[in-house]
Structure 1
Amino acid sequence: MDSFVEAINRCGLWDIGFIGPKFTWLYERSKGIQIREKLDRALATMEWVNLFSMARLHHLTSSASDHSLLALRFVRKPNGKRMKRLFRFESIWLNDSRCKEVVLEAWG
């Protein structure tokens, strides 16, 4: 699992979140005992998130499967309103010698 997380971080992927039930998998054991887990998620780059800022991932329930269906829906932006771009700071940027210069230029 550590290698998987490392690959996600190295590729600059982010979990885009979801709408709907928290768990995407249900295992029903004997005597009514249930195991619920969030196994499914959607990952995207920041560029994709900024390009498709109105995209929403929905967890949908299904009576035919023990997994939730995932539906990625795109909502149109309301006319006249501009959505702010999401900004996230990466601490690794501090290791770049140009970081201070870029910040000072942007704030100036």
Structure 2
Amino acid sequence: MEQFEQLLTCAICLDRYRNPKLLPCQHSFCMEPCMEGLVDYVRRQVKCPECRAEHRIPYQGVQGFPTNVTLQRFLELHIEITGELPDPTSGQVQFIFSSKNFKTF
């Protein structure tokens, strides 16, 4: 399970991916703040911190890079299995409880 957790971890912020964007070199990072922090706005490109490949930024900015749908699905599956959800502001874990886990009196 630890190796699976590593696959769901952004190499920049070291938290679980939030809106993973896919670079043309096939490396993924969180769109904000990670990808935004890599942008060279003067040259309109981003340099991948994993392989150092340089990529032109789409007209729409980093939002224009495709979402890594495979990784996004793994994140959703992890939430379904564990009930854990990353807190988008602090990186701490929240728990989701289904109503079927509780009895009403």
Q: Structure 2-normalised TM-score?
A: 0.30
Computing the radius of gyration over CA atoms, which structure comes out larger, 1 or 2? 1
Q: Structure 1-normalised TM-score?
A: 0.29
More strand by share: 1
